[in-house]
Amino acid sequence: MTSSLILAIALAACAATMIGGLLALRLADKLPLVMAFSAGAVIGVAFFDLAPEALNAGIGIYESRVLLAVAALGFFSYTLLDRLVAHHDCGNPVNLARGMIGAASFSAHSVMDGFAMGIAFQANHEIGLIVAAAVLAHDFADGLNTVNVVVKNGGSRSFALRWLAVDAAAPLLGAAASLLVRPDPGVLAILLALFCGFFLHIGASGLLPESHRARPRASTTVATLAGAAFLYAVTALVR
């Protein structure tokens, strides 16, 4: 019964991801505003979800400063990777490889979402339902963000849809994996901290500046704050 429930909710997360991504494509004419909302949502995921979860998973294993250092390592590692990818494209903010790296990061995060949800259900149904609510909301934002980061970096609609399909399948893969293994809390804490650093870079160094460059208006700032507030509200409601 638990296995069926986990997979059913993982399928719902797949649908939420697809809906978020298709919405981003439908609102292509308002892409700067959607991108600004995504920037706030991505940064919100890092601050309000990944960082607290990493610290909680690391209780009794790592000191807080160690996990924060891992998050910083994730941020600067992504910075280095981003610079290497953009090395032959200086002066051009559009870089398809950069978009692929960003989309792959969101997809990896979706795998972790599905994995965490599955483990939570195995521990306790009430906790599982709380985590599932967060996963559904996060994966909607991930679908939106995946499409935005690909399109922003020169990807076509069809290319963005292929990455969206990968991201949509990711929570199902993670949920299935959770039925086969038990996670080591120490490894989970490190991975969550790394993803925190990755997402801070994607949001703060990629989506946020680009949205303001494309539409330097007050509405862009409001959209960014709305994205962050949305993620804060989601995480506050489900904890």
Quickly list DSSP for 126-169: HHHHHHHHHHHHHHHHHHHHHHHHHHHTT--HHHHHHHHHHHHH
What is the C-alpha to C-alpha distance for residues 177 and 172, in angstroms, rounded to an integer? 9
pLDDT for 88: 44
User: Does residue 201 surpass a pLDDT of 90?
Assistant: no
- Tens-digit pLDDT profile for residues 49-90: 889 888 988 999 999 999 999 999 999 988 887 776 554 444
Token code pair at residue 27: 């609102």
CB burial readout 158-177, b (16+ within 10 A) else e: ebbbebbbbbbbbbbbbbbb
Taking the CA atoms of residue 14, residue 135, residue 228 and residue 77 in that order, the dihedral angle to the nearest 10 degrees is -80
Q: What's the whole-number mean pLDDT along residues 192-200?
A: 87
Q: CB under 8 Å to 104, separation ≥6 — which residues?
A: none
User: What residues make up the domain containing 228?
Assistant: 2-238
Residue with the two structure tokens 């292509």: 28
Number of domains in the chain: 1
pLDDT for 167: 94
Q: What's the whole-number mean pLDDT along residues 222-228?
A: 92
Please give the model's pTM, rounded to 2 decimal places: 0.69
Token code pair at residue 73: 């390592």
Q: CB under 8 Å to 4, separation ≥6 — which residues?
A: none
Token code pair at residue 47: 């601050």
